[in-house]
Amino acid sequence: MSRFDPGLPDDRVNVSGTNPIAEAGLLVAGLVAVVVALAVVSSVAMEWLVPRLPTTLEVSVFGGGWLPSLGSDDDDEEESGDPRQQALQTLADRLGQHWPENPYELKLRLWDEPSPNAFALPGGWIGVTSGLLDQVASENELAFVLGHEIGHFRNRDHLKGLGRGLALGIVLSALGVSGVGAAADLAGLAGGLAQRSFDREQEGLADEFGLAVVAAEYGHVAGASDFFRRLPDPGALLGEELGAYLSTHPVSEERIEELAALAEARGFVTEGSLQPVPEAMTRSEPKESEAGR
């Protein structure tokens, strides 16, 4: 018969000797590494798959009125008849003629949004904000912005981005970190950083195409980079090197230098007269209901 020992149990039993903070750090690092690896693999897969999808399939799926509503039905009707949007469409149609193999029917959509922006959307849609129209000083620089977006269609970048986003969402769901919260935010950031190099390369190719379109339309590329000269430099907020890395578009000064190098390499004429912004693209008069307030 064993003798009963009333002593206290050994407090080292079932207790890890590793610092819990260090363990948490390893778990976070492991999660980030897994997300980055899977995001890179999925991105490469989408880079291979998307260019092989027929354009007709894309247009049949996204060519209709799938874009978010601008507001009430009345607002949408007035927007479709907005002279600014009609003038944008006319300019885009002209620029699209310099891409003879264009399989899309380019369609412009104007958003009443103060932040200057333009973006290519599936189905041949190009979104432009009113804030961008308010800031452009010549038709030439606006033509470059639109030519840049057309370049994204030529390279199928808009679908690649959509595909990578879907793939990343599937990865996050499989890891159980989809939704909201710190884990989801951290995993999303890791996946975004992993894809950033693809985005920067695509931006450079779209810039090259947009520059060629401007040269073909006006006979020179003067004014093409003027819009970017007036944009705030993200490096002022994040630090120059970090800003250049995190920004989807390169920082303003870097992008201007790259455009100048592209123009020289392609032998484009860099001086010429600038066309004024068409009067129809200037901000329209306020609605009667707003003017009477």
Phi first, then psi: give them for residue 201, nearest 5 degrees: -65, -40
Q: Which two tokens stand for residue 95?
A: 């620029």
Query: Do the Cβ atoms of 124 and 107 come closer than 8 Å?
Result: yes
β-strand pairing of 125-129 with 118-121: antiparallel
**Amino acid, single-letter form, for residue 20:** P
Of 58, 139, 141, 149, catalytic? 149
Q: C-alpha angle 224/146/143, rounded to 5°?
A: 40
Cα distance between residue 151 and residue 29, in whole Å: 37
Residue 55 CB contacts under 8 Å (≥ 6 apart), including other chains: 103, 104
Place of tokens 């093409």: 224
Helix, strand or coil, per DSSP, at residue 130: helix
Cα distance between residue 97 and residue 35, in whole Å: 42
Catalytic residue check, 149:
yes
Cα distance between residue 18 and residue 24, in whole Å: 10
> What are the C-alpha distances in Å from 73 to residues 64, 66, 168, 268?
16, 14, 34, 46
Alpha helices in the chain (DSSP H): 20-49, 55-62, 73-80, 83-96, 130-135, 139-154, 157-175, 182-218, 226-229, 235-238, 240-246, 252-266, 288-291
Residues forming the active site = 149
